[in-house]
Amino acid sequence: MFNKLLKRNTDVVIENHDRSVLIPNEEVPAHIAIIMDGNGRWAKKRALPRVAGHHEGMKTVRKVTKLANELGVSVLTLYAFSTENWKRPKIEVDFLMRLPEEFLTTFLPELVEENVRVEMMGYHENLPKHTLKAIQKAKEATKNNTGLILNFALNYGSRAEIVDAVKDIAAQVAKGTLTLDDINEDLITGGLMTKGLPEPDLLIRTSGEVRLSNFMLWQLAYTEFWFTETLWPDFNEDSLLEAIQIYQNRNRRYGGLKGDEVK
Ligand code: V07
């Protein structure tokens, strides 16, 4: 049991996430990627505007980041905004583009304190200056941190990312600095926005949708998938522990087979 009594301000908070559900000696996933779905539906159920759900979803980001860092996860990639999300009503897009600033205004000091490094993957084009500025500041403030890498996928699309990597390779072949025989999986992997990061071990999608929606198509080739009906604002520490526990059980079933043998 890891239950802790914590004193925060004047409230006594009981941290009651039963981490003993995790399997001893079974590794926690090094890289967890999450499609944070169901914020709009959470709001609708409460007769609130969709943006209220997005706002509530930020609190889940904070909770999940803290626990992932404590468990020793190396990378947490969160799908915050896709290249397709521009099709939403302008008022909703404008609200979403304010969330990185609000999140970082509230939580950056804690992230610095907890040794978390903030990163972003996605296209900078089209993102408002104020959004980029807030993220740049957080990246700078946390660049020497050695704990969890909190990697926000923002204005990210996987097919476009692959197209760009292929174009870059084609340009090098055309120039003569690369030959056809130099093209292999590692070269393509190195041309993606996840360059330098391990591939995700576990993908989580909330809210009952069972699709990838153009998220990390190349990188998820060998990843374990876990889908839950839970809406993102209702997702919590216990949900993350459940996902990791299931991941560990799946890995254990391979009974000693490692690496290529399980692929
Ligand atoms: C967003 C809240 C979480 C649920 C999913 C949609 C709404 C945190 C960020 C963020 C992004 C970059 C960054 C720091 C925080 C965020 C958007 C939406 C666009 F450096 N939550 N969150 N960005 N939602």
Residue pLDDT, tens place only, 163-191? 999 999 999 999 999 999 999 999 999 99
**Residue 254 resides in a domain:** no
pTM: 0.93
Ligand 1 pocket, residue 95 CB under 6 Å? no
pLDDT at 64 over 70: yes
Taking the CA of residue 120 as reference, the ligand 1 atom at the shortest distance is: 20
Q: With respect to residue 236, please indicate whether it lies within any of the assigned structural domains.
A: no
Q: Is residue 256 part of a domain?
A: no
Domain of 156, CATH number, reads: 3.40.1180.10
Q: Is residue 123 part of a domain?
A: yes
126-154 per-position pLDDT tens digit = 999 999 999 999 999 999 999 999 999 99
Residue 10, in any domain of the structure:
no
Residues comprising the binding site for Mg(2+)? 37, 224
Average pLDDT over the chain, rounded to an integer: 92
How much is the pLDDT for 26?
84
* Ligand 1 pocket check for 235: Cβ under 6 Å: no
Any ligand 1 atom below 6 A from CB of 165: no
User: Does the structure show a pLDDT above 60 at 6?
Assistant: no
What is d(CA 60, CA 34) in angstroms, rounded to the nearest whole number? 12
Mutate to test the pocket of ligand 1, among 152, 234, 235 (most ligand atoms within 8 A of CB): 152
Task: Flag whether pLDDT at 203 surpasses 70.
Answer: yes
Q: Give a yes or no: residue 167 inside a domain.
A: yes
Q: Tell me whether residue 60 is in a domain.
A: yes
Q: Please give the positions annotated as active site.
A: 37, 85
DSSP state of 72: T
Number of structural domains found in the chain: 1
132: left (phi over 0), alpha (psi -120 to 50) or beta: alpha
Containing H/E element for 129? helix 129-142
Q: Is residue 158 part of a domain?
A: yes
Domain span at 140: 29-228
